[in-house]
Amino acid sequence: MLERLLARWTGLFVVWVLLFSVAAYLIPRPFAALAPGIVPGLGVIMLGMGMTLTPADFVRVAKMPRAVFCGVVGQFLIMPLLAWTLAYAFRLSPELAMGFIILGSCPGGTASNVISYLAKADVALSVTMTACTTLLAIVLTPWLVSVLGGRYLPVNAWDLFESVVKIVLLPVSAGFLVRHYFRRQVERILPVFPALSVLVIVLVIAAIVALSRAQIAGALGVTGLVVVLHNGLGLALGYALAWACRLPVSARRTVAIEVGMQNSGLGVALAKTHFASALVALPASLFSIMHNLSGSMLAAYWRRRG
């Protein structure tokens, strides 16, 4: 019964994001008070992700190197360059441009594993790609943000690197080790972590909405359009890249989902930690809603096609 309730809570992720975002916009004060918990909250999510990983997830890289390489290249080439191109084309403010570049430079999100399952894609490949891009993000995310975003706002790449180590590497490594040494105990509580991740992400997004309430009305139109384009083009180009690499259909779907769905929670945390304007975190917050909506619709379509 508890697992069914947790699964239902997790399945209604987009609904909770919308409800809490509206509440935060209308009554910002209590949600803005959650701001100090954004980074620790994301650490909890990464800890849970680490607990889901096993050595087999990394051994799988050797078994399907072309698919993993294709996905990693798509993740750290397509999405950052798309973000930079869209920011330039729409002449976004420096704060919003930086927000999109941070978002585009993040690794794949854990929600992609669920979407891959629903889409009848290659779930094992999805887990492996998420793990690989998450670990590579420790170096690539700070570097990409520095190179692509430096023209918009000052960037301290070393500070970003330290943040990614604290937010990603340490919790994921701790979770992996805990799973290795306390397998039986961890497997009993694993069903709790997806629901906990949903709760934390929903509260993080609500906090950002509350903090950037004054700027949202003026930025939402163009920002929302760029979010839709960034997500949609990421999905399409990810699939096209996998097709060009002659991957099977299930792997093409996985690569598309992995490339088009970002770890927007990490984007929010980095934006909030390193930039004074709450507007920098707005693209990642909106993307959290968009990529789950588009991913769910795409999964439903692919699932019907078989």
Give pLDDT tens digits for 3-21: 677 777 776 777 787 888 8
Average pLDDT over the chain, rounded to whole? 85
Q: Answer for the pair 38, 268: CB distance below 8 angstroms, yes or no.
A: yes
Closest CA to 43 of 221, 273, 225: 273
Closest CA to 109 of 83, 85, 87, 137: 137
Fold assignment, 33-305: Na+/H+ antiporter like fold (1.20.1530)
- Relative orientation angle of helices 123-149 and 264-274, to the nearest 10 degrees: 30
Neighbours of 183 (CB within 10 A): 12
First vs last C-alpha separation in the chain? 30
Q: Answer for the pair 73, 201: CB distance below 8 angstroms, yes or no.
A: no
Predicted local distance difference test score (pLDDT) of residue 50: 80
The tens digit of pLDDT for each residue in 98-139 reads 999 999 999 987 778 778 877 888 888 888 888 889 889 999
What whole-number percentage of the chain has pLDDT above 70?
96
Residue-range domain boundaries for the chain: 33-305
Predicted local distance difference test score (pLDDT) of residue 87: 95
Q: Which residues pair with 38 in a beta bridge?
A: none
pTM of the model: 0.83
Distance from C-alpha of 6 to C-alpha of 201, rounded to nearest angstrom:
15
Highest mean pLDDT of the ranges 4-13, 180-189, 225-234: 225-234
- Helix spans in 261-281 (H): 264-274
